[in-house]
Structure 1
Amino acid sequence: MGFLDNLKAKLSPAKDKVGDLAHQHGHKIDQGLDKAARTVDQKTKGKYSDKIESGTKKAKEAVERLSHKHDEGGTKHDEGGTPPGTPGGTPPGTPPAS
């Protein structure tokens, strides 16, 4: 087993824990990101507003992706796909397309 394989195996439990926490506390994380963005924007007197807004949006999207890797039952979703039953996803019980 190579170095990266060992590293991935050791980090997997941490990644799962982060996903669970993001799922449970996503709203609070979003509020914290908004508060931090407002503070930085005020301190820079609006000079970097567009960059701050863009960075905040990307951070929120990352938290959203982490939180949706686990559904209510605690099962993982495919990393690249949309969970079934979510907007843009396949509704539960729908047969696969052929």
Structure 2
Amino acid sequence: MKKIIPLLLLSSTILFSISPVVLANSVVDKTQTMQMKIQKINVNTATLDELMALPGVGAKKAAAIVEYRDKMGKFTSLEQLADVKGIGKKMLEKMKDHVSL
């Protein structure tokens, strides 16, 4: 019994000294994830992969955005995205908080 108490004290000291580090790393990971979610994608400069990160945008819609941009020039308003094949008003509504010009 005398050997168990110091062992328990030692293990609890180690456990509590590690916990703040683990918690701090967890907070940093969550903050970085939130910053990535908040960051908007510029439809005038985004790559195919970046465009595919938008809600509801897959490879075909991303390619259509790039094709439209190449033919018509830079987007001057977010509403112009509705002119892209495969993007309607509902899709535009989902995307609008995630894109910039």
Same fold (TM over 0.5): no
The structure, 1 or 2, with the larger RCO (C-alpha pairs under 8 Å, 6+ apart) is 2
1 or 2, which has the higher helix percentage?
Answer: 2
Larger Rg: 2
Provide TM-score, normalisation by structure 2: 0.29
